[in-house]
Amino acid sequence: MLEKMTSAANEFVDKLPKTLTRVGAALLVLAVGYVLLRLGRRLLKRIFIRYRQKHGSNTRGDTVQYLTTSLFNVVMYFAIVLTALSTLGVDVASLIALAGFSGFALAFGCQTLIKDIISGMFLWFEGSCNVGDIVTVAGQTGRIENVALRTTTLRAVNGSVYVIPNGEIRTVMNMTSDYRCAVVDVTVAHGQDYEKALDVLRQAMRRANEEFDYISEDPVVKGYISMDRGAATCRIECFCSVDKCWELERGIRLRALTALAEAGIKP
Protein backbone atom coordinates (compact mmCIF):
# COMPACT_ATOMS: atom_id res chain seq x y z
CA MET A 1 0.00 0.00 0.00
CA LEU A 2 2.80 2.39 0.96
CA GLU A 3 4.59 1.66 -2.30
CA LYS A 4 1.44 2.43 -4.31
CA MET A 5 0.92 5.73 -2.48
CA THR A 6 4.56 6.65 -3.00
CA SER A 7 4.31 5.77 -6.70
CA ALA A 8 1.15 7.85 -7.11
CA ALA A 9 2.75 10.82 -5.33
CA ASN A 10 5.84 10.62 -7.52
CA GLU A 11 3.67 10.41 -10.64
CA PHE A 12 1.67 13.45 -9.47
CA VAL A 13 4.88 15.43 -8.85
CA ASP A 14 6.20 14.45 -12.28
CA LYS A 15 2.99 15.56 -14.02
CA LEU A 16 2.51 18.71 -11.93
CA PRO A 17 4.66 21.04 -14.11
CA LYS A 18 2.90 19.86 -17.27
CA THR A 19 -0.51 20.25 -15.65
CA LEU A 20 0.29 23.73 -14.38
CA THR A 21 1.57 24.66 -17.84
CA ARG A 22 -1.69 23.52 -19.43
CA VAL A 23 -3.78 25.35 -16.84
CA GLY A 24 -1.75 28.51 -17.38
CA ALA A 25 -2.13 28.18 -21.16
CA ALA A 26 -5.88 27.68 -20.80
CA LEU A 27 -6.15 30.78 -18.61
CA LEU A 28 -4.14 32.69 -21.22
CA VAL A 29 -6.54 31.49 -23.92
CA LEU A 30 -9.49 32.70 -21.84
CA ALA A 31 -7.83 36.09 -21.32
CA VAL A 32 -6.98 36.51 -25.00
CA GLY A 33 -10.48 35.36 -25.96
CA TYR A 34 -12.00 37.94 -23.62
CA VAL A 35 -9.90 40.70 -25.20
CA LEU A 36 -10.84 39.56 -28.71
CA LEU A 37 -14.49 39.47 -27.67
CA ARG A 38 -14.34 43.07 -26.45
CA LEU A 39 -12.47 44.21 -29.55
CA GLY A 40 -14.96 42.43 -31.81
CA ARG A 41 -17.89 44.13 -30.10
CA ARG A 42 -16.24 47.53 -30.48
CA LEU A 43 -15.50 46.85 -34.14
CA LEU A 44 -19.11 45.89 -34.81
CA LYS A 45 -20.30 48.99 -32.99
CA ARG A 46 -18.05 51.23 -35.11
CA ILE A 47 -19.18 49.51 -38.31
CA PHE A 48 -22.83 50.21 -37.54
CA ILE A 49 -22.06 53.78 -36.44
CA ARG A 50 -20.46 54.42 -39.84
CA TYR A 51 -23.41 52.73 -41.52
CA ARG A 52 -25.81 55.10 -39.76
CA GLN A 53 -23.69 58.12 -40.69
CA LYS A 54 -23.80 57.05 -44.33
CA HIS A 55 -27.37 55.78 -44.67
CA GLY A 56 -29.10 57.45 -41.74
CA SER A 57 -30.48 55.86 -38.60
CA ASN A 58 -33.28 53.33 -39.08
CA THR A 59 -34.92 50.62 -37.02
CA ARG A 60 -33.89 47.88 -39.47
CA GLY A 61 -30.20 48.74 -38.98
CA ASP A 62 -30.61 48.72 -35.20
CA THR A 63 -32.20 45.29 -35.34
CA VAL A 64 -29.39 43.91 -37.51
CA GLN A 65 -26.84 45.33 -35.06
CA TYR A 66 -28.42 43.65 -32.03
CA LEU A 67 -28.79 40.30 -33.79
CA THR A 68 -25.27 40.40 -35.27
CA THR A 69 -23.79 41.20 -31.86
CA SER A 70 -25.77 38.39 -30.24
CA LEU A 71 -24.63 35.89 -32.89
CA PHE A 72 -21.01 37.07 -32.58
CA ASN A 73 -21.13 36.54 -28.80
CA VAL A 74 -22.41 32.98 -29.17
CA VAL A 75 -19.75 32.05 -31.75
CA MET A 76 -16.94 33.60 -29.71
CA TYR A 77 -17.99 31.93 -26.46
CA PHE A 78 -18.14 28.58 -28.24
CA ALA A 79 -14.70 29.04 -29.86
CA ILE A 80 -13.07 30.24 -26.63
CA VAL A 81 -14.41 27.31 -24.59
CA LEU A 82 -13.35 24.73 -27.18
CA THR A 83 -9.85 26.24 -27.48
CA ALA A 84 -9.42 26.30 -23.70
CA LEU A 85 -10.52 22.66 -23.40
CA SER A 86 -8.14 21.65 -26.19
CA THR A 87 -5.30 23.42 -24.37
CA LEU A 88 -6.11 21.45 -21.22
CA GLY A 89 -5.71 18.25 -23.22
CA VAL A 90 -9.35 17.43 -23.73
CA ASP A 91 -10.06 15.59 -26.98
CA VAL A 92 -12.25 18.24 -28.60
CA ALA A 93 -12.86 16.14 -31.73
CA SER A 94 -14.31 13.32 -29.66
CA LEU A 95 -16.32 15.81 -27.68
CA ILE A 96 -17.80 17.29 -30.86
CA ALA A 97 -18.51 13.80 -32.21
CA LEU A 98 -20.23 12.90 -28.95
CA ALA A 99 -22.25 16.10 -29.15
CA GLY A 100 -23.27 15.24 -32.70
CA PHE A 101 -24.23 11.71 -31.68
CA SER A 102 -26.32 12.97 -28.78
CA GLY A 103 -27.71 15.90 -30.77
CA PHE A 104 -31.00 14.15 -31.39
CA ALA A 105 -31.49 13.58 -27.68
CA LEU A 106 -30.54 17.15 -26.89
CA ALA A 107 -32.90 18.43 -29.58
CA PHE A 108 -35.87 16.96 -27.73
CA GLY A 109 -34.72 18.56 -24.50
CA CYS A 110 -34.01 21.92 -26.12
CA GLN A 111 -37.05 22.23 -28.35
CA THR A 112 -38.10 25.50 -26.77
CA LEU A 113 -34.62 27.01 -27.11
CA ILE A 114 -34.32 25.96 -30.75
CA LYS A 115 -37.82 27.28 -31.48
CA ASP A 116 -36.92 30.65 -29.91
CA ILE A 117 -33.75 30.97 -32.00
CA ILE A 118 -35.44 30.00 -35.27
CA SER A 119 -38.34 32.38 -34.58
CA GLY A 120 -35.85 35.17 -33.89
CA MET A 121 -34.14 34.59 -37.23
CA PHE A 122 -37.48 34.70 -39.06
CA LEU A 123 -38.43 37.93 -37.27
CA TRP A 124 -35.17 39.44 -38.52
CA PHE A 125 -35.42 38.20 -42.11
CA GLU A 126 -39.08 39.14 -42.52
CA GLY A 127 -38.67 42.55 -40.90
CA SER A 128 -42.08 42.32 -39.19
CA CYS A 129 -40.73 44.24 -36.20
CA ASN A 130 -37.52 46.14 -35.57
CA VAL A 131 -35.79 47.91 -32.70
CA GLY A 132 -37.67 51.11 -31.90
CA ASP A 133 -41.05 49.89 -33.17
CA ILE A 134 -44.12 50.09 -30.92
CA VAL A 135 -45.74 46.66 -31.03
CA THR A 136 -48.14 44.34 -29.27
CA VAL A 137 -46.75 40.80 -29.02
CA ALA A 138 -47.62 37.93 -26.67
CA GLY A 139 -50.23 40.15 -25.01
CA GLN A 140 -47.75 42.92 -24.12
CA THR A 141 -47.47 46.40 -25.69
CA GLY A 142 -44.33 48.49 -25.72
CA ARG A 143 -41.36 49.78 -27.68
CA ILE A 144 -38.80 47.20 -28.80
CA GLU A 145 -35.45 47.85 -27.11
CA ASN A 146 -33.57 44.72 -28.14
CA VAL A 147 -33.99 41.77 -30.51
CA ALA A 148 -31.67 38.87 -29.69
CA LEU A 149 -31.47 35.34 -31.05
CA ARG A 150 -33.67 33.96 -28.27
CA THR A 151 -35.64 36.86 -26.81
CA THR A 152 -37.21 40.21 -27.68
CA THR A 153 -37.19 42.98 -25.07
CA LEU A 154 -40.09 45.46 -24.81
CA ARG A 155 -40.38 48.54 -22.63
CA ALA A 156 -43.97 49.46 -21.76
CA VAL A 157 -45.31 53.01 -21.36
CA ASN A 158 -45.05 52.75 -17.56
CA GLY A 159 -41.37 51.76 -17.82
CA SER A 160 -41.82 48.03 -17.22
CA VAL A 161 -39.50 45.78 -19.22
CA TYR A 162 -40.84 42.57 -20.77
CA VAL A 163 -38.43 39.89 -22.02
CA ILE A 164 -40.43 37.70 -24.39
CA PRO A 165 -39.08 34.43 -25.85
CA ASN A 166 -39.21 34.67 -29.64
CA GLY A 167 -40.97 31.31 -29.82
CA GLU A 168 -44.01 32.82 -28.05
CA ILE A 169 -44.45 35.54 -30.70
CA ARG A 170 -47.31 34.31 -32.87
CA THR A 171 -48.97 37.54 -34.00
CA VAL A 172 -47.30 40.95 -34.23
CA MET A 173 -49.38 44.13 -34.15
CA ASN A 174 -46.93 46.79 -35.32
CA MET A 175 -48.13 50.31 -34.57
CA THR A 176 -45.10 51.96 -36.19
CA SER A 177 -45.95 51.15 -39.80
CA ASP A 178 -46.00 54.54 -41.61
CA TYR A 179 -48.93 56.11 -39.76
CA ARG A 180 -51.65 55.54 -37.19
CA CYS A 181 -55.21 56.73 -36.70
CA ALA A 182 -56.02 58.49 -33.45
CA VAL A 183 -59.54 57.44 -32.37
CA VAL A 184 -61.50 59.26 -29.66
CA ASP A 185 -65.05 58.40 -28.59
CA VAL A 186 -67.09 61.17 -26.90
CA THR A 187 -70.47 60.60 -25.29
CA VAL A 188 -73.44 62.98 -25.48
CA ALA A 189 -76.11 62.45 -22.82
CA HIS A 190 -79.65 61.73 -23.97
CA GLY A 191 -81.96 64.72 -24.05
CA GLN A 192 -79.30 67.02 -25.55
CA ASP A 193 -79.33 68.60 -29.02
CA TYR A 194 -77.41 65.96 -30.98
CA GLU A 195 -76.97 68.07 -34.13
CA LYS A 196 -75.67 70.99 -32.09
CA ALA A 197 -73.23 68.68 -30.37
CA LEU A 198 -71.84 67.59 -33.75
CA ASP A 199 -71.46 71.22 -34.89
CA VAL A 200 -69.67 72.12 -31.65
CA LEU A 201 -67.28 69.21 -32.05
CA ARG A 202 -66.53 70.04 -35.71
CA GLN A 203 -65.70 73.65 -34.80
CA ALA A 204 -63.49 72.48 -31.95
CA MET A 205 -61.64 70.09 -34.28
CA ARG A 206 -61.00 72.86 -36.84
CA ARG A 207 -59.38 74.88 -34.08
CA ALA A 208 -57.41 71.79 -32.97
CA ASN A 209 -55.81 71.51 -36.41
CA GLU A 210 -54.32 74.97 -35.92
CA GLU A 211 -53.02 74.08 -32.45
CA PHE A 212 -51.41 70.75 -33.33
CA ASP A 213 -48.56 71.37 -35.78
CA TYR A 214 -47.93 67.65 -36.34
CA ILE A 215 -51.21 66.92 -38.17
CA SER A 216 -51.95 67.99 -41.74
CA GLU A 217 -55.77 67.83 -41.71
CA ASP A 218 -58.69 68.46 -39.39
CA PRO A 219 -59.75 65.62 -37.08
CA VAL A 220 -62.88 64.15 -38.65
CA VAL A 221 -66.08 63.95 -36.61
CA LYS A 222 -67.50 60.67 -37.95
CA GLY A 223 -70.86 60.96 -36.17
CA TYR A 224 -72.67 58.75 -33.73
CA ILE A 225 -71.51 55.14 -33.79
CA SER A 226 -73.47 53.67 -30.87
CA MET A 227 -75.82 54.43 -28.02
CA ASP A 228 -76.88 52.98 -24.69
CA ARG A 229 -79.43 53.88 -22.03
CA GLY A 230 -77.44 56.85 -20.81
CA ALA A 231 -75.78 58.47 -23.83
CA ALA A 232 -74.94 58.38 -27.54
CA THR A 233 -71.30 57.91 -28.57
CA CYS A 234 -69.70 60.12 -31.21
CA ARG A 235 -66.38 59.13 -32.81
CA ILE A 236 -63.55 61.46 -33.88
CA GLU A 237 -60.67 60.22 -36.03
CA CYS A 238 -57.41 61.75 -37.25
CA PHE A 239 -54.37 60.26 -38.99
CA CYS A 240 -50.99 61.13 -37.51
CA SER A 241 -47.49 59.78 -36.95
CA VAL A 242 -47.23 56.86 -34.57
CA ASP A 243 -45.21 58.59 -31.87
CA LYS A 244 -47.81 61.41 -31.64
CA CYS A 245 -50.93 59.26 -31.59
CA TRP A 246 -51.52 59.06 -27.85
CA GLU A 247 -50.67 62.74 -27.37
CA LEU A 248 -53.15 63.67 -30.11
CA GLU A 249 -55.89 61.49 -28.59
CA ARG A 250 -55.45 63.24 -25.23
CA GLY A 251 -55.55 66.65 -26.92
CA ILE A 252 -58.68 65.83 -28.95
CA ARG A 253 -60.45 64.45 -25.88
CA LEU A 254 -59.68 67.56 -23.81
CA ARG A 255 -60.83 70.00 -26.52
CA ALA A 256 -63.97 68.02 -27.26
CA LEU A 257 -65.06 67.90 -23.61
CA THR A 258 -64.19 71.57 -23.11
CA ALA A 259 -66.18 72.63 -26.19
CA LEU A 260 -69.22 70.61 -25.14
CA ALA A 261 -69.10 72.04 -21.62
CA GLU A 262 -68.88 75.63 -22.95
CA ALA A 263 -71.91 74.96 -25.18
CA GLY A 264 -73.90 73.62 -22.24
CA ILE A 265 -74.03 70.08 -23.58
CA LYS A 266 -73.64 67.28 -21.02
CA PRO A 267 -71.27 64.48 -22.06
Q: How many angstroms separate the CA atoms of 33 and 192, rounded?
A: 76
Of the options 2.30.30.110, 3.40.50.11030, 2.30.30.60, 1.20.120.1200, the CATH number for the domain spanning 111-174: 2.30.30.60
> Treating both helix axes as pointing N-terminal to C-terminal, what angle do 194-211 and 245-262 enclose, rounded to 10 degrees?
130
Residue-level pLDDT at 256? 92
Q: What is the pLDDT of residue 95?
A: 59
Class of domain 2-101: mainly alpha
Confidence of residue 62 (pLDDT cuts 50, 70, 90): low
Q: Which residues contact 209 (CB under 8 A, 6 or more apart)?
A: 215, 217, 218, 219
Average predicted confidence (pLDDT) for the chain? 78
Distance CA 76, CA 73 (A): 5
Name the band, by pLDDT with cuts 50, 70 and 90, for residue 103: low
User: Do residues 179 and 241 touch, judged by C-beta distance below 8 A?
Assistant: yes
pLDDT for 56: 63
Fold of 180-262: Alpha-Beta Plaits (3.30.70)
pLDDT > 70? residue 80: yes
pLDDT digits (tens, 9 = 90+) for 136-164: 888 888 888 888 777 888 998 788 899 98
pLDDT digits (tens, 9 = 90+) for 30-42: 888 888 888 888 8
Which of 24-38, 166-180, 223-237: highest mean pLDDT?
223-237
Span of 24-33, 54-63, 223-232 with lowest mean pLDDT:
54-63
Residue ranges of domains in the chain: 2-101, 111-174, 180-262
Distances (CA, A) of 93 to 7, 24, 35, 177: 32, 22, 26, 49
- Counting residues of the chain whose pLDDT is more than 90, the rounded percentage is 17
pLDDT at 101 over 50: no
What would the 3-class secondary structure string for the chain be? CHHHHHHHHHHHHHHHHHHHHHHHHHHHHHHHHHHHHHHHHHHHHHHHHHHHHHHCCCHHHHHHHHHHHHHHHHHHHHHHHHHHHHHCCCCHHHHHHHHHHCHHHHHHHCHHHHHHHHHHHHHHHHCCCCCCCEEEECCEEEEEEEECCCEEEEECCCCCEEEEEHHHCCCEEECCCCCEEEEEEEEEECCCCHHHHHHHHHHHHHHHHHHCCCCCCCCEEEEEEEECCCEEEEEEEEEECHHHHHHHHHHHHHHHHHHHHHCCCCC
pLDDT, greater one: 128 or 27: 27
Between 205 and 166, the higher pLDDT residue: 205
Write phi, then psi, for 32 (nearest 5 degrees): -65, -40
CA distance 187 to 103: 62
Mean pLDDT (whole number) for 71-77:
82
Instruction: Judge if pTM exceeds 0.75.
Output: no
Q: Which residues contact 162 (CB under 8 A, 6 or more apart)?
A: 138, 140, 142, 153, 154, 155, 156
